[in-house]
Amino acid sequence: MIETLLEQAIHQNASDIFLITGMPFSIKINGIIQHLNDKKLSSKDIQSYIQEIYQLSDNRSMEKLLLHGDDDFSFSIPHLSRFRISVLKQRGSLGAVIRIVRFTLPNHKDIFIPEAVMDIANLRNGFVLVTGAAGNGKSTTLACIIDRINTTHNSHIITLEDPIEYLHTHKKSVVTQREIGQDTDNYLTGLRACLRQAPDVILLGEMRDYETIRTAMTAAETGHLVISTLHTTGVSNTIDRIIDVFPPNGQAQIRVQLAMVLQMIVSQQLVPALDGSLVPAFEIMPVTDAVRTMIRESKSHQLANVIATGSSNGMISMNQSLLQLQEKGIISEETRKRYSTSQSQPSSFGL
């Protein structure tokens, strides 16, 4: 029974589960893959488990998987947990990677999300980006921000996700959660539709093309708070990535628009803590007038220096964040050095 295996993974505090033909049932704990037993799974075992999962997901059709070779969706098991799954074909058989998403959103303080990041919830409009490589906690950070808005503001929040991970109940706000492929065809279609649905806050789980990015920035320009994510590391790379998506003859205009609507970029990575867990380190850049000028003038390569010396404006570099974690006794000096960027950093700093 797949439910028994999922329950074992949860009790061991796993973050991910792997169902792959030819290897045992495997889980990832604090970034390390471990086998739950020695029995190698056959293709028949995997197919049986995946069929069970589709049944648990309201008897979801396997048509997309069979037609395209992969399928992403989420499902819940009452009183156990919520799961985000990516099912795939590989080497003539099926496989799956499952992310465990707890029913209860963790307190941001318990998972070391700084108040400077949570303060995104107080913005009334503009464009905010939370970036980082896949699997580095962006979804949890975004969910904590949405929960803060939901708890403290009277707003209409619309989320577009692929798939929906954390489920939000209505508190002070109304929260409308839409899943790509189920509730709307794609991000662009969903975004255009939600602009007719009186949103105050829009969460875009991903921006995959320039039309979606352009529409998101226009939404921010017209008085909405738009929060989205990119799989980039570092502020400079994020700016360049957005601009490079657009055709060369439109990049100058996009720089001007981005400089006008951008409110903050947060870049995060998970690093190993001394207690064996993973904790996030953050690069945080509120957008000042100086930053807007640099974006307009194609000087994003200079932003790292601005962030490193911008603590008075609420900025913190990745190196400074790592140093702060070390000084609090959360990570080791070795970990700080391994995950630091190449830029030199001061021995101490003020926030």
**Most confident residue range from 73-82, 194-203, 334-343:** 194-203
What would the 3-class secondary structure string for 113-155 be?
CCHHHHHHHHCCCEEEEEECCCCCCHHHHHHHHHHHHHHHCCC
* Least-confidence region, from 129-133, 163-167, 314-318: 163-167
Right CATH number for 115-339 from 3.90.226.10, 3.40.50.300, 3.30.1330.10, 3.40.640.10?
3.40.50.300
- What is the CATH code for 2-101? 3.30.450.90
Q: What is the mean pLDDT of residues 153-173?
A: 97
Model-level pTM?
0.90
Residues of the chain with CATH 3.40.50.300: 115-339
Q: Say whether pLDDT at 345 is over 90.
A: no
Q: Say whether pLDDT at 350 is over 90.
A: no
Q: When comparing pLDDT for 346 and 89, which is higher?
A: 89
Q: What is the mean pLDDT of residues 200-207?
A: 97
pLDDT value at position 114? 97
pLDDT-derived band at 13, boundaries 50, 70, 90: very high
pLDDT-derived band at 1, boundaries 50, 70, 90: confident
pLDDT value at position 347? 37
- Looking at every residue in the chain, the average pLDDT score rounds to 95
pLDDT value at position 115? 98
Q: How far apart are CA 109 and CA 228, in angstroms?
A: 22
pLDDT-derived band at 341, boundaries 50, 70, 90: confident
Q: Say whether pLDDT at 346 is over 60.
A: no
pLDDT value at position 284? 98
**Most confident residue range from 35-44, 87-96, 149-158:** 149-158
Q: What is the mean pLDDT of residues 231-255?
A: 96
Q: What is the mean pLDDT of residues 220-225?
A: 98
Q: What is the mean pLDDT of residues 179-188?
A: 95
Sign of CA dihedral 158, 125, 322, 268: positive
Q: Say whether pLDDT at 349 is over 50.
A: no
* Beta-strand pair 32-35/70-77: unpaired
Residues of the chain with CATH 3.30.450.90: 2-101
Sign of CA dihedral 287, 290, 291, 293: positive
Q: pLDDT digit string (tens) for 291-331?
A: 999 999 999 999 999 999 999 999 999 999 999 999 999 99
Query: Which uninterrupted H or E stretch holds 234?
Result: none
pLDDT-derived band at 187, boundaries 50, 70, 90: very high
Token representation of residue 268: 């995060």
What is the amino acid identity at position 226? V
Q: Say whether pLDDT at 348 is over 80.
A: no
pLDDT value at position 130? 98
Q: What is the mean pLDDT of residues 229-245?
A: 96
Token representation of residue 60: 């979801």
Q: Say whether pLDDT at 351 is over 70.
A: no
Q: In what order do the strands lie in the sheet with 278-286?
A: 174-179, 156-161, 201-204, 225-230, 126-131, 262-272, 278-286
